[in-house]
Structure 1
Amino acid sequence: MFGWLKPDPLKKLTKQYNAKLEQAMHAQRNGDMRLFADLTAESEEIWQKVVALKKQLGIES
């Protein structure tokens, strides 16, 4: 009945992924390649969670 009140974990992970990519972009523009590499690696870990969750939910894309 109140399913629409539950937070969507896929949406949350996607938002985190996009935020990490944006942070990485700003680090790259500022010339901080080490931070860029770290943020990119973190974003890849988040993306793997997104892919696993999509597979678990049976969502194709």
Structure 2
Amino acid sequence: MFSFLKPNPLKRKRQKYDALLESAMLAQRRGDIMTYSMLSADADELWKEIEQLESQQ
């Protein structure tokens, strides 16, 4: 009945994923390739988690 009050982990992970990609893009624009690659790797791991959650639903 009150399912809209429950936090949605998928939505939170997507927001974090988007923020990571944006941070990575900004790091790349600054020329900080090391940070860009680390943030991109974190975003890839998070995307795998998102795909697992979506497949369970």
With the length of structure 1 as denominator, give the TM-score of the two structures.
0.90
Percent of pairs identical after alignment?
44
CA RMSD of aligned residues (A): 0.5
Alignment gaps of 5+ in structure 1: none
Give TM-score, length-normalised by structure 2: 0.96
Residue 44 of structure 2 aligns with which residue?
A: 44
Which position in structure 2 is the counterpart of 1:11?
A: 11
2:42 and 2:51 map into 1 onto residues whose CA distance is 14
Q: Higher helix proportion, which one?
A: 2
